[in-house]
């Protein structure tokens, strides 16, 4: 059954109309990629879901209930975890404190469990978030999202700005996380990274869904990839 | 003639005065750090703390007939000020969180006018004063001179308040949540932290401390509706020196202003009134973000 | 139309009733201020901010005088308009201009702050409008800065401070004096006079400190003064600053160590009332203390004030009240209410204030009080705050310097 339904949402930044009727449907337990060029509206879609930039029109339903108009923290507490773009760890808190401040004590993810998945974090648990390397910070944001005990994990460009070997490590760590059965919606520029992790994809273009389907189908559709995802071209809104 | 003893006494006096300044300024910096609102009306909360104390302990006051009325007032007056602060935050400041700083400044400046003039209309312009509580109205011998214990008491209370806050922010989950919210409120909110509640709580704490400062000032300074105006200027100087939003900065800045003022009295009395402004200038030129401020937002 | 003829018309109109008279006077206002039966007083003082403790009683004094005069059978009515100078010379002049040019007032009165008084005095001279200072103590406006339209109906700081120095000498034995002076003109000018007078009487200055206005913390001044081991400590701090100083000095047992403390601001009632039992014994000068003199005239004033405001009158209230009556008497004496009439009426005028006879010296427009109230302040039987335990009034004429003014 659907865990998240996004129905025809329109989102604005001030006067600027960014999302023009995006609709998504995510099943419980699946892992879905949200693809598209820079400026296509991927991050805005995630921000809309979480209420950080509430849509002006359309409806968002999570676990059968509408979540429009709720504060981000209320939506988060209903079971949506976010791994934001540009990582945004709490720079002046230690790794351990970054995790503690958002921990759901009754959740499935304890501190030990995330440390087991990300041993590097245990090693640096007393270091300040701002002093970690980029890869470590990305692990921390994933761990931080997991301990909020989400049913749906939103990942915004997790591979962005990381060295290739780190991206590979991150990919294998994330697939371990996916194996736990958590639902994932991730945005990516790195199509290969997304293809390896996701089962299904939505492609956004100019603030609307341009294509939807299985990853296997997408991988074989050179025309779709060429039109919406090819590297080097930046979509102009 | 400046002797070592007089230097030492001046430093102690500077610290005592600095603690009062710290209590007034720390809420200003906390609220700025967490809520990103520069609350001009913070000095008015300090003024209210002094007035509430006066009305609780003076003849005919609510607590006047009770033994230890000053000590009760030291608890009740800050709580009343905290209540005023919470109402202020919820109903007046909250609607403008997303507005420009200029707008917020205008609004909180308007609050100053409303509160100070309200006090003037309600309570008049007569000066009021509160007697120091008998229990601590004695002197200790400090380097051969009598020194009022009340000033030592100010140092103790200020230090305890600073230590408690430091422990809360460094050691407790609530404190860490507040720090996380101040570092990235959008992220904290998105991760399930009830940021509006954190804001209200921070405002409550800041107001409580301003109220405590005002209550402690009641037996130490004359009470009048304009007392908030002078303390807010000193508070601004302190938080700019210490670094806007920095708790440790407010503590260091307040003690620095207190002690430097005191030493200036001994060595450069004619410059004393401008010393705080010189300090601000020096700090801004050498460390624009203040002594404890972050050079660049992370 | 000459002022005398205008007055006759109004006398006739009196039969029709006060309302008609007021409206006639209102019409006449635009044609200059000659001869109408109403003197409109523009009362200017700080009604907000820390100086409001002076401005508000002054306002009440003006209102009470006007009310009494208008309820009496006086031919002349007094109409009072208040404006807030906010203690700023610029605001003071702006408000004065509004009052003179838009409200057509005849007299500018009040002025708590010397700097405001100076600025408005210059402005009033350009407008040929009478200015009556009832509060500000700076000698300047009746000496170097004196002019034709500016009068002061209260004693100035020269007179008050000289009287206080004489009384200090009378009441104390010590010769070592220390000063704690507010760091602005008033503090410096009072100290200059007190120091000069005391040195003439054989005293020496052993210490002086200049805390800034509203400083809030006096620990250093207190310690330094104690270290100098003076016999007499003089201060011209006043109101909130003096209260704060006494509170903090109490903590140091300052007053147990200093044989004599002398307060020279000319206002002690507000400090004494605010401090209650924390008040200290001292030698002080007060421009007016409601228990003195023990005359019927003063008693009537105190009763009227208490029934109007439900509190005792303080010095500035009495001074502005007396100022309004001075202007009324000037009009009666000269038979007119134009600026020239009022000036000629005021020059040399002798009139009764609650505190006694005031004489306006024509040469410099400075009033000379019969009595300047100095003495020892302490607990007194019939008050719940400190009053004068020993009163030693000084004859105002004996402490008034020769005129130093070129009118």
List pLDDT tens digits, range A156-200.
999 998 999 999 999 999 999 999 999 999 999 899 999 999 999
B123 touching C (Cβ < 8 Å):
no
Q: How far apart are CA A52 and CA C127, in angstroms?
A: 64
Sign for the CA dihedral angle at B70, B75, B81, B87 comes to negative
Interface contact A101-B196, CB threshold 8 A = no
Residues of B with CB under 8 A from a CB of A: 173, 176-177, 179-180, 183-184, 186-196, 298
Q: How far apart are CA B24 and CA B45, in angstroms?
A: 9
Determine contact, residues A187/A43, Cβ cutoff 8 Å: yes
Determine contact, residues A190/A166, Cβ cutoff 8 Å: no
Strands (E), B3-144: 139-142
Q: What is the pLDDT of residue C36?
A: 52
Torsion angle in degrees (nearest 10) through CA of C339, C344, C345, C349: 140
Q: How far apart are CA B202 and CA B221, in angstroms?
A: 27
- Please state the three-class secondary structure of B133-167 as a single string: CHHHCCEEEECCEEEEHHHHHHHHHHHHHHHHHHH
Percentage of chain B beyond pLDDT 70 is 98
Burial annotation C288-326 (CB, 10 A radius, 16+ → b, else e): bbbbbbeeeebeebbebbeeeeeebbbbbbbbbbbbbbb
In what helix (H) or strand (E) does residue C389 lie, and over which residues does it extend?
strand C387-391
Q: What domains, with CATH codes, occur in chain A?
A: 1-78+193-237 (3.40.50.300)
Residue C130: beta bridge partners?
C107
Interface contact B151-C219, CB threshold 8 A = yes
Q: At B110, is the secondary structure helix, strand, or coil?
A: helix
Q: What is the pLDDT of residue B6?
A: 86
Residue among C48, C53, C227 minimizing CB distance to B126: C53
Optimal mutation site among C208, C251, C273, C277, interface B, most CBs of chain B within 10 A: C251
B262 touching C (Cβ < 8 Å):
yes
Interface contact C220-B10, CB threshold 8 A = yes
Determine contact, residues C329/C349, Cβ cutoff 8 Å: yes
Determine contact, residues B22/B14, Cβ cutoff 8 Å: no
**Average pLDDT for chain B:** 92
Q: What is the pLDDT of residue A145?
A: 96
Q: Distance from A32 to chain B by nearest Cα, in Å?
A: 20
Instruction: Please state, in angstroms and as integers, the Cα–Cα distance from residue A237 to each residue in A38, A41, A67, C159, following that order.
Output: 10, 9, 28, 82
Instruction: Report the Cα A129 to chain-centroid distance in Å.
Output: 20
Q: How many helices (H) and strands (E) does chain B have?
A: 11, 2
Interface B-C, measured as beta-carbon pairs within 8 A, has a size of 96
Interface contact A91-B183, CB threshold 8 A = yes
Radius of gyration of chain A, Cα coordinates, nearest whole angstrom = 17
Interface contact B186-A52, CB threshold 8 A = yes
Q: Distance from A101 to chain B by nearest Cα, in Å?
A: 5
> Which tokens belong to C389?
């335990």
Q: What is the pLDDT of residue A231?
A: 61
φ, ψ of residue A68 to 5 degrees: the values are: -65, 145
Strands (E), B139-286: 139-142, 145-148
Q: What is the pLDDT of residue B100?
A: 86
> Which tokens belong to B225?
């509706």
DSSP A16-45: EEEEEEEEEEEETT-EEEEE--TTSSHHHH
Interface contact B194-A73, CB threshold 8 A = yes
Q: How far apart are CA C347 and CA C130, in angstroms?
A: 12
C275 touching B (Cβ < 8 Å):
yes
Q: Distance from C212 to chain B by nearest Cα, in Å?
A: 7
Q: What is the pLDDT of residue B57?
A: 94
Interface contact B176-A100, CB threshold 8 A = yes
**Mean predicted confidence (pLDDT) in B167-184:** 95
Strands (E), chain A: 2-13, 16-27, 31-35, 57-62, 65-66, 80-83, 152-156, 183-188, 200-205, 208-214
Instruction: Name the residue in chain B with its Cα closest to that of C278.
Output: B131
Determine contact, residues B237/B279, Cβ cutoff 8 Å: yes
φ, ψ of residue B69 to 5 degrees: the values are: -60, -35
Residue among C227, C241, C251 minimizing CB distance to B151: C251
Q: Distance from B16 to chain C by nearest Cα, in Å?
A: 9
Closest CA to B11 of B143, B134, B108: B143
Q: How far apart are CA C349 and CA C330, in angstroms?
A: 7
pLDDT at B128 over 70: yes
**Other Cβ atoms closer than 10 A to B109:** 14
Radius of gyration of chain C, Cα coordinates, nearest whole angstrom = 22
- Residue C323: left (phi > 0), alpha (psi -120 to 50), or beta? alpha
Cβ contact B–C (≥3 pairs, < 8 Å):
yes
Beta carbons within 8 Å of C304's beta carbon, 6+ residues apart: C64, C68
Instruction: Please state, in angstroms and as integers, the Cα–Cα distance from residue B196 to each residue in B89, B192, C29, C100, following that order.
Output: 10, 11, 60, 54
B151 touching C (Cβ < 8 Å):
yes
pLDDT at B248 over 60: yes
Closest CA to C154 of C301, C318, C330: C318
User: Which DSSP symbol is given to C399?
Assistant: G
**Strand pairing class (A200-205; A31-35):** parallel
| pTM, to two decimals | 0.88
Angle at A228 between CA A223 and CA A229, to 5 degrees: 95
Q: Provide the residue-wise pLDDT of chain C in tens; the chain has 407 residues.
A: 344 433 333 333 333 333 333 333 333 333 334 445 899 999 999 998 888 889 999 999 999 999 999 999 999 999 999 999 999 999 999 999 999 999 999 999 999 988 999 999 999 999 999 999 999 999 999 999 999 999 999 999 999 999 999 999 999 999 999 999 999 889 999 999 999 999 999 999 999 999 998 889 999 999 999 999 999 999 999 999 999 999 999 999 999 999 999 999 988 999 999 999 999 999 999 999 999 999 999 999 999 999 999 999 999 999 999 999 999 999 999 999 999 999 999 999 999 999 999 999 999 999 999 999 999 999 999 899 999 999 999 999 999 999 999 88
Q: Distance from A114 to chain B by nearest Cα, in Å?
A: 16
Radius of gyration of chain B, Cα coordinates, nearest whole angstrom = 19
Residues of A in contact with B196 (CB under 8 A): 71
Interface contact C223-B148, CB threshold 8 A = no
Residues of C in contact with B221 (CB under 8 A): 216, 244, 247
Strands (E), B33-100: none
Q: What domains, with CATH codes, occur in chain C?
A: 10-155+292-370 (3.40.50.2300), 158-289+372-399 (3.40.50.2300)
Closest CA to B47 of B178, B169, B220, B227: B227
Q: What is the pLDDT of residue C9?
A: 38
Q: How far apart are CA C268 and CA C286, in angstroms?
A: 6
Q: How far apart are CA B284 and CA B290, in angstroms?
A: 7
φ, ψ of residue B259 to 5 degrees: the values are: -75, -40
pLDDT at B173 over 70: yes
**Mean predicted confidence (pLDDT) in A23-28:** 96
The subunits that touch chain B, with at least 3 C-beta pairs less than 8 Å apart, are: A, C
Q: What domains, with CATH codes, occur in chain B?
A: 4-286 (1.10.3470)
ipTM for the assembly: 0.92
Residues of A in contact with B179 (CB under 8 A): 90, 92-93
**Strand pairing class (C394-395; C371-378):** antiparallel
Q: How far apart are CA B227 and CA B115, in angstroms?
A: 12
Q: Which of residues 63-122 of B touch C (CB under 8 A)?
A: 117, 120
Q: Distance from B277 to chain A by nearest Cα, in Å?
A: 30
The subunits that touch chain C, with at least 3 C-beta pairs less than 8 Å apart, are: B
The subunits that touch chain A, with at least 3 C-beta pairs less than 8 Å apart, are: B
Q: How far apart are CA C118 and CA C96, in angstroms?
A: 12
> Which tokens belong to C60?
């009440």
> Which tokens belong to B134?
């008998």
Determine contact, residues B195/B125, Cβ cutoff 8 Å: no
Determine contact, residues C160/C180, Cβ cutoff 8 Å: no
B150 touching C (Cβ < 8 Å):
yes
Instruction: Please state, in angstroms and as integers, the Cα–Cα distance from residue C131 to each residue in B87, C119, C352, following that order.
Output: 47, 11, 20
Interface contact B127-C212, CB threshold 8 A = no
Determine contact, residues C272/C385, Cβ cutoff 8 Å: yes
Residues of B in contact with A104 (CB under 8 A): 192
Q: How far apart are CA A131 and CA A133, in angstroms?
A: 7
**Average pLDDT for chain A:** 93
pLDDT tens sequence across A66-87: 998 899 999 999 999 999 998 8
């Amino acid at each position: 059954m659907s865990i998240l339904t996004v129905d025809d949402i329109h989102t604005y930044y001030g006067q600027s109309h960014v999302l023009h009727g995006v609709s998504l449907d995510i099943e419980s337990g699946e892992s879905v990629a949200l693809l598209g060029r820079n400026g296509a509206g991927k991050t805005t879609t995630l921000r809309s879901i979480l209420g950080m930039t509430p849509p002006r029109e359309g409806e968002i339903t999570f676990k059968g209930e509408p979540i429009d108009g709720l504060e981000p923290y209320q939506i988060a507490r209903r079971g949506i975890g976010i791994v934001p773009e540009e990582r945004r760890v709490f720079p002046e808190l230690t790794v351990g404190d970054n995790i503690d401040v958002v921990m759901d004590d009754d959740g499935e993810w304890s501190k030990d469990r995330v440390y087991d998945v990300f041993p590097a974090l245990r090693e640096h648990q007393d270091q300040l978030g701002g002093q970690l390397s980029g890869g470590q910070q990305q692990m921390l944001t994933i761990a931080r999202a997991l301990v909020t005990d989400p049913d749906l994990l939103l990942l915004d460009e997790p591979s962005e700005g990381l060295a290739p070997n780190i991206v590979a490590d991150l990919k294998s760590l994330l697939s371990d996380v996916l194996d736990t059965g958590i639902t994932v919606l991730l945005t990516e520029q790195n199509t290969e990274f997304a293809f390896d992790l996701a089962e299904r994809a939505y492609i956004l273009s100019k603030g609307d869904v341009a294509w939807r389907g299985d990853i296997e189908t997408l991988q074989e559709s050179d025309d779709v990839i060429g039109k919406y995802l090819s590297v080097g071209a930046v979509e102009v809104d | 003639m400046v002797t070592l003893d007089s230097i030492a006494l001046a430093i102690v006096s500077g610290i005592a005065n600095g603690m009062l300044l710290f209590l007034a300024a720390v809420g200003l910096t906390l609220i700025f750090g967490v809520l990103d609102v520069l609350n001009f009306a913070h000095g008015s909360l300090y003024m209210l703390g002094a007035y509430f104390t006066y009305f609780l302990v003076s003849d005919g006051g609510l607590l006047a007939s009770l033994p230890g009325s000053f000590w009760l007032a030291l608890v009740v007056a800050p709580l009343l000020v905290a209540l005023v602060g919470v109402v202020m935050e919820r109903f007046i400041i909250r609607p403008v969180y997303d507005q420009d700083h200029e707008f917020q400044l205008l609004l909180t400046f308007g609050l100053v006018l409303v509160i100070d003039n309200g006090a003037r209309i309600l309570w008049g312009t007569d000066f009021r004063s509160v007697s120091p509580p008998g229990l601590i109205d004695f002197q200790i011998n400090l380097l051969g001179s009598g020194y009022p214990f009340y000033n030592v008491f100010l140092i103790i209370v200020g230090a305890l308040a600073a230590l408690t806050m430091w422990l809360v922010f460094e050691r407790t989950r609530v404190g860490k949540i507040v720090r996380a919210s101040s570092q990235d409120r959008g992220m904290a909110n998105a991760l399930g932290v009830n940021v509006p509640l954190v804001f209200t709580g921070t405002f409550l704490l800041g107001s409580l401390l301003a109220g405590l400062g005002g209550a402690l000032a009641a037996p130490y300074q004359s009470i009048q509706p304009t007392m908030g105006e002078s303390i807010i200027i000193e508070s601004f100087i302190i938080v700019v020196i210490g670094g806007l939003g920095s708790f440790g900065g407010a503590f260091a800045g307040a003690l620095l202003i207190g002690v430097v003022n005191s030493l200036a009295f001994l060595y450069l009395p004619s410059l004393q009134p401008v010393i705080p402004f010189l300090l601000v200038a020096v700090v801004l030129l050498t460390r624009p973000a203040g002594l404890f401020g972050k050079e660049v937002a992370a | 139309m000459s002022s005398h003829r205008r007055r006759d018309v109004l006398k006739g109109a009196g039969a029709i009733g006060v309302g008609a008279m007021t409206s006639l006077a209102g019409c006449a206002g635009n044609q200059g201020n000659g001869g109408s039966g109403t003197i409109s007083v523009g009362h200017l003082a700080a009604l907000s901010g820390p100086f409001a403790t002076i401005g508000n009683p002054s306002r009440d004094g003006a209102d009470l005088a006007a009310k009494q005069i208008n309820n009496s059978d006086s031919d002349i009515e007094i109409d009072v308009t208040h404006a807030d100078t906010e203690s700023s010379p610029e605001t003071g002049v702006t408000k004065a201009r509004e009052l003179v040019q838009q409200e057509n007032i005849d007299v500018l009165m009040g002025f708590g702050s010397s700097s405001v008084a100076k600025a408005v005095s210059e402005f009033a001279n350009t407008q040929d409008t009478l200015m009556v200072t009832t509060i500000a103590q700076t000698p300047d406006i009746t000496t170097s800065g004196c002019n034709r339209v500016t009068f002061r109906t209260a004693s100035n700081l020269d007179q008050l401070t000289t009287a206080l120095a004489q009384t200090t000498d009378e009441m104390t034995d010590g010769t070592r004096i220390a000063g704690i002076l507010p760091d602005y003109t008033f503090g410096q000018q009072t100290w200059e006079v007190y120091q000069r007078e005391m040195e003439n009487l054989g005293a020496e200055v052993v210490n002086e400190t200049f805390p800034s206005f509203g400083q809030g913390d006096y620990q250093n001044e207190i310690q330094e003064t104690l270290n100098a081991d003076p016999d007499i400590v003089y201060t011209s701090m006043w109101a909130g600053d003096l209260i704060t100083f006494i509170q903090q000095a109490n903590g140091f047992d300052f007053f147990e160590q200093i044989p004599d403390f002398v307060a020279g601001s000319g206002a002690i009632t507000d400090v004494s009332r605010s401090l209650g039992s924390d008040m200290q014994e001292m030698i002080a000068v007060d421009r007016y203390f409601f228990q003195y003199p023990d005359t019927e005239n003063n008693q009537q004033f105190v009763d009227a004030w208490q029934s109007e405001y439900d509190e005792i009158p303080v010095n500035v209230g009495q001074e502005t009240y007396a100022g309004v009556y001075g202007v009324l008497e000037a009009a009666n004496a000269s038979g007119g209410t134009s600026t020239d009439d009022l000036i000629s009426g005021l020059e040399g005028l002798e009139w009764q204030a609650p505190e006694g006879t005031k004489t306006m010296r024509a040469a410099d427009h400075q009033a000379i009080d019969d009595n300047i109230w100095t003495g020892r302040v302490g607990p007194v039987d019939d008050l719940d705050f400190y009053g004068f335990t020993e009163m030693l009034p000084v004859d105002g004429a004996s402490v008034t310097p020769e005129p130093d003014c070129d009118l």
